[in-house]
Amino acid sequence: MAGALASMMVLAMSGQQALWGGGKSSPQVNDDNTVTFSIKAPMAQRVEVQLDYGVLWPLERDTAGVWTYTTGTLAPDLYLYNFVVDGVKTLDPSNVYTMRDVATVKNMFFVGGQELLYQAQDVPHGQVSAVWYDSPRVGKSRRMMVYTPAGYDQGNQRYPVLYLLHGSGGDETAWLHQGQAAQVLDNLIASGQAVPMIVVMPNGNVDEQAAPGSDQRGLVTPTFQHKQWMEGSFESTFADIMEYVERHYRTINKQSGRAIAGLSMGGFHSLYISANQPKDFGYVGLFSAAIRPMRGVQSPIYDNLEQKLAEQFRQGNKLYWVAIGKDDFLYQANKEFLALLARLAPRYTYVESTGGHEWRNWRIYLTQFVPLLFK
């Protein structure tokens, strides 16, 4: 029997390798931070690799039908990629790690090891929970992800809370996956750069209960399009989330113990939630935020922004942090908003980065913003 079990496993493994493997592991991150991709495709006429959403690079075929491509030196970061084999998008059969961004699935890899904040390190880890809560203002039960820091389960300490919001096309899992938020928090807290905090990641699409695949809609294709989209419904029902969190976690329930931040649509949500609840958030982060409501949208949530912001700053906001990339299509809208802040805010922080409307930037902004909180 023991022998049979071992044989079965060897069989299962070699069966797989015979069918799919190319003998080489892919991707291979080389010592000089170049990366070699390889895939066995003897019948293919053309094989390309797409790094993130960039151009297609052609691979070269060897006599055994293994195609390879080696990049130039890559900066330490999280990267996505896929192959294109004779025009068909193909994931790397040698790499089990994938990441979904809206309706696109790609393989992932890291360049940079122990210094990379996005990767799990040998440090104490927080707990991540998929939490269903009743939302009476929405009229249904909904799901959010909650990070509690290492040590939360060992005492009676109360913790500050960061509400961290995703963008259009995202859901409550986006910051954990593309954003690597749990790893970032673990690593920043372990090194003393950030204070231990709870991070609450709700679902900003009020017309869905949970991320695609996690509620009774079944395995629907994720989409940017939602019936309730940037029209006030998330902002006006956000209190349900705060009330649940403050009732079920050991939180510091005052302005100086609450932060709200988000990317793109989540920045927009952060802007208007904090402006409409001027005493609630000590810290606000807008990452590549949308600023103005969609054309034709009417909601009291979006009325009188100037007066609301002025009141928010009078109430003693501690940090108003705005970041955007020079190539972002929301750059101009953010510059106009900064002019408004310059008139209204006693102080605010502006970070201008390279790049555009992309996760690479939002991960960087998270690592910059979190160390500023609750100090």
What is the C-alpha separation between 286 and 320, in angstroms, rounded?
8
What is the C-alpha separation between 288 and 268, in angstroms, rounded?
9
User: Is 290 near its own copies (CB under 8 A)?
Assistant: yes
Cross-strand bridge partners of residue 38: 68
In the region spanning residues 55 to 94, those forming contacts with its own copies, defined by CB under 8 A, are 85-91, 93-94
In the region spanning residues 99 to 128, those forming contacts with its own copies, defined by CB under 8 A, are 100, 102-105, 108-110, 113-114, 119-122, 124-128
What is the C-alpha separation between 187 and 251, in angstroms, rounded?
21
What is the C-alpha separation between 24 and 374, in angstroms, rounded?
47
User: Taking the complex as a whole, how short is the minimal distance between the CB of residue 347 and its own copies, in angstroms?
Assistant: 25
Q: By CB under 8 A, how many residues form the interface with its own copies? A: 88
User: Taking the complex as a whole, how short is the minimal distance between the CB of residue 316 and its own copies, in angstroms?
Assistant: 30
Q: Which of 135, 260, 277 is nearest to 207 (CA)?
A: 135
In terms of CB distance, is 6 or 342 closer to its own copies? Answer: 6
In terms of CB distance, is 19 or 75 closer to its own copies? Answer: 19
CA 6 to chain centre: 40
Residue from 333, 338, 345, 372 touching its own copies (CB under 8 A): that is 333
CA 320 to chain centre: 20
| Contact indicator for 259, 282 with CB cutoff of 8 Å | yes
C-alpha dihedral sign at 278, 281, 285, 288: negative
In terms of CB distance, is 1 or 75 closer to its own copies? Answer: 1
What track of x and - describes contact with its own copies for positions 192 through 211 (by CB under 8 A)?
A: ------------------x-
User: Taking the complex as a whole, how short is the minimal distance between the CB of residue 374 and its own copies, in angstroms?
Assistant: 22
Given the rule CB under 8 A, which of 96-104, 158-166, 272-280, 311-319 is the region that contacts its own copies? 96-104
In the region spanning residues 356 to 375, those forming contacts with its own copies, defined by CB under 8 A, are 357
In terms of CB distance, is 100 or 279 closer to its own copies? Answer: 100
Residue from 43, 55, 64, 75 touching its own copies (CB under 8 A): that is 43
User: Is 332 near its own copies (CB under 8 A)?
Assistant: yes
User: Is 157 near its own copies (CB under 8 A)?
Assistant: no
User: Taking the complex as a whole, how short is the minimal distance between the CB of residue 96 and its own copies, in angstroms?
Assistant: 5
* H or E element, residue 325: strand 319-325
Q: Which of 158, 144, 170 is nearest to 242 (CA)?
A: 144
In the region spanning residues 229 to 268, those forming contacts with its own copies, defined by CB under 8 A, are 248
In terms of CB distance, is 177 or 278 closer to its own copies? Answer: 177
The number of residues making up the chain comes to 375
Given the rule CB under 8 A, which of 157-165, 279-287, 326-334, 339-347 is the region that contacts its own copies? 326-334
CA 126 to chain centre: 17
In the region spanning residues 131 to 150, those forming contacts with its own copies, defined by CB under 8 A, are 131-132, 141, 143, 150
What is the C-alpha separation between 355 and 316, in angstroms, rounded?
32
Residue from 35, 37, 38, 40 touching its own copies (CB under 8 A): that is 40
* H or E element, residue 162: strand 161-165
What is the C-alpha separation between 156 and 251, in angstroms, rounded?
10
What is the C-alpha separation between 221 and 225, in angstroms, rounded?
11
In terms of CB distance, is 168 or 277 closer to its own copies? Answer: 168
